[in-house]
Amino acid sequence: MSQLASRNQPQLLEPFWPLDDPHGVSHVRLEDEPPLNPEQAMPLLLQLAAQSEAMRSLQTRDGDPVSERAASVLRGEMAEAMRALAELVDPDSAEVIRMRAKILAGGAEHEEMTLAIAARETIPALEVVCGPMCTWRMKTRKPLHSFVAAARDERQQEILDRIDAALEEAIGEVGEELEADRMRVSFPLPMNVTNLLVSAGEAAGHPKHFAYFMPEDEGIDGLPIYEQRTLYMRNVHLIRYKEITVPLGEALLEGPIGPADVPIEGTLMPWIRGHDHGHNVVVATTDFESWADRLGIEPFAMLGEAFADVYGFLMTVSSPWLSISGVTPLEMCGTHIAEMLHYMRRGPQYHGDPGAAYLELGFLAENGYVEIDSEGRIRWSEDGFRRGMIALAATLTEATVGAPDERGSERLIARYGWPTETAAKRTLDAMRHELTNVPTSVAFYRTSDVAAASEAVPLAA
Ligand SMILES: [Zn+2]
């Protein structure tokens, strides 16, 4: 019996999206270059991406290679390419790339070395991951081979650092608004603001990520939060918004600013940063560590996404953050409500983020802060949306972050959460059944020869 036959048969991954819905992919060109020696570094990155595709193709859903011989050859070649790449980049990034090369070459254990990388004080300007990664835990329960190369966006990093420096002031303002006792962010996760250069293997699967939580997404579980950080890929976030959020919002939103008219170069980064910090908001009485067991992991995760979203939004419209991002509260509202549609469409029955969007929109509509017509179209105003988000934040604080037990959360989920039929269901149905032409994911390509492709003559009929 072969080694393979003795194990479970190789299988494909679980489906990620609702199976009944049509899915489409739009193609977007990636244009960013590595900061140093791009003419030599870029071909190496593309070579590593191709090798990583091959490596991922050899893996079963559990990450076992179907041919150990082929996988071993690929690992050796990738280690070699990583070492060559290290010669072309800044010393700090080079050190991490060499550490990862050592894992590939079999000279270091994955977990131990990944922890050593996570423990480093500095975050590399060129992030290169070439190894196992989890993308969506519902889809990849075991980490699968991935390749990600992303270069720090120094200008945006500087803006993010200023936003972070004003975090205490921002959450203080939110706490005051909500009259919450000693509201604060328990730990501000470091965030590396980058632009994706190339991705391959499982990391290039669908839907696309614009952020990784490191090293948890590298398959290292159970680390305390202060040993983690976020790798944010700003260009992917902007692309997703333009390709998916804008057409959904244009069809379904009627408000004082359109989804295509908001300056997302200024609004999206505070949006994600607010959400990121929102996960770690606590008040004097916060104590919900054991709730996941009683509420169930998925409902608990959904509530976590909901309060992260709502506190995050309130931070983005706080005066200290607005003065740094340079956008208006109306522009933040327009971004937030449009992104809510994007998330909700992924299926509130499946994941935390869509479940949270469904709950949020249901709350806003059922309490009269926005109006949803029979076709699922949403009419909103700046004043109504902001008042609604404050009311929702107060309700969520009472039911989750500041609650003595999980009973209020259960009531909130029963009232607004999936599968309760609220007005949000009409909007969800419109997206699933009528807006089927809007892509559900994006694919990336890199080429310097786009003109040739666009001039291609179709074959005569
Ligand atoms: Zn989240």
* pLDDT for 1: 42
Assess whether pLDDT exceeds 60 at residue 110: yes
How far is ligand 1, taken at its centre, from the CA of residue 82, in Å? Answer: 32
How far is ligand 1, taken at its centre, from the CA of residue 278, in Å? Answer: 8
Interval 423-450 mean pLDDT: 90
**The one-letter amino acid at 370:** V
DSSP annotation of 218: G
How far is ligand 1, taken at its centre, from the CA of residue 352, in Å? Answer: 8
How far is ligand 1, taken at its centre, from the CA of residue 458, in Å? Answer: 44
Other residues' Cβ atoms within 10 Å of the Cβ of residue 202: 26
Burial of residue 230 (number of CB atoms within 10 Å: 0-12, 13-18, 19+)? middle
* pLDDT for 10: 66
Assess whether pLDDT exceeds 50 at residue 6: no
* pLDDT for 102: 98
% of the chain beyond a pLDDT of 70: 94
| Residues whose CB falls within 8 Å of the CB of residue 47, separated by 6 or more in sequence, listed in order | 81
DSSP annotation of 7: S
How far is ligand 1, taken at its centre, from the CA of residue 268, in Å? Answer: 14
pLDDT band at 457 (very low <50, low <70, confident <90, very high): low
Residue 193 has φ and ψ, to the nearest 5°, of: -90, 115
pLDDT band at 454 (very low <50, low <70, confident <90, very high): low
How far is ligand 1, taken at its centre, from the CA of residue 252, in Å? Answer: 24
How far is ligand 1, taken at its centre, from the CA of residue 339, in Å? Answer: 13
Assess whether pLDDT exceeds 90 at residue 200: yes
How far is ligand 1, taken at its centre, from the CA of residue 310, in Å? Answer: 11
How far is ligand 1, taken at its centre, from the CA of residue 386, in Å? Answer: 20
How far is ligand 1, taken at its centre, from the CA of residue 281, in Å? Answer: 12
What is the rounded distance in angstroms from the CA atom of residue 374 to the CA atom of residue 249?
Answer: 17
How far is ligand 1, taken at its centre, from the CA of residue 298, in Å? Answer: 13
| Residues whose CB falls within 8 Å of the CB of residue 129, separated by 6 or more in sequence, listed in order | 100, 146, 147, 148, 203, 212, 218
Tell me what percent of the chain is helix, strand and coil, each rounded to the nearest 5: 50, 15, 35
For domain 22-152+190-227, give its CATH number from 3.30.540, 1.10.760, 3.40.50, 3.30.230.
3.30.540
Interval 386-399 mean pLDDT: 96
Interval 325-335 mean pLDDT: 98
How far is ligand 1, taken at its centre, from the CA of residue 275, in Å? Answer: 6
The answer to whether 113 and 100 are in contact (CB under 8 A) is yes
How far is ligand 1, taken at its centre, from the CA of residue 104, in Å? Answer: 31
Assess whether pLDDT exceeds 50 at residue 246: yes
pLDDT band at 461 (very low <50, low <70, confident <90, very high): very low
Q: How far apart are the first and last CA of the chain?
A: 52
How far is ligand 1, taken at its centre, from the CA of residue 353, in Å? Answer: 7
What residue spans define the domains of the chain? 22-152+190-227, 154-189+234-439
Q: In what order do the strands lie in the sheet with 229-233?
A: 126-133, 144-152, 191-201, 229-233, 211-214
What is the rounded distance in angstroms from the CA atom of residue 234 to the CA atom of residue 327?
Answer: 17
User: How many residues can be counted in the chain?
Assistant: 461
| Cα Dmax for the chain | 71
Q: Is the dihedral of CA 413, 414, 417, 419 positive or negative?
A: positive
How far is ligand 1, taken at its centre, from the CA of residue 125, in Å? Answer: 24
How far is ligand 1, taken at its centre, from the CA of residue 308, in Å? Answer: 6
Give the model confidence (pLDDT) of 126-185 as tens digits.
Answer: 999 999 998 876 667 789 999 999 999 999 999 999 999 999 999 999 999 999 989 999
pLDDT band at 296 (very low <50, low <70, confident <90, very high): confident
How far is ligand 1, taken at its centre, from the CA of residue 427, in Å? Answer: 22
Which one has a higher pLDDT value, 353 or 12?
A: 353
* pLDDT for 458: 52
The answer to whether 234 and 156 are in contact (CB under 8 A) is yes
Assess whether pLDDT exceeds 60 at residue 411: yes
pLDDT band at 59 (very low <50, low <70, confident <90, very high): very high
How far is ligand 1, taken at its centre, from the CA of residue 344, in Å? Answer: 13
Element (DSSP H or E) covering residue 27: strand 25-29
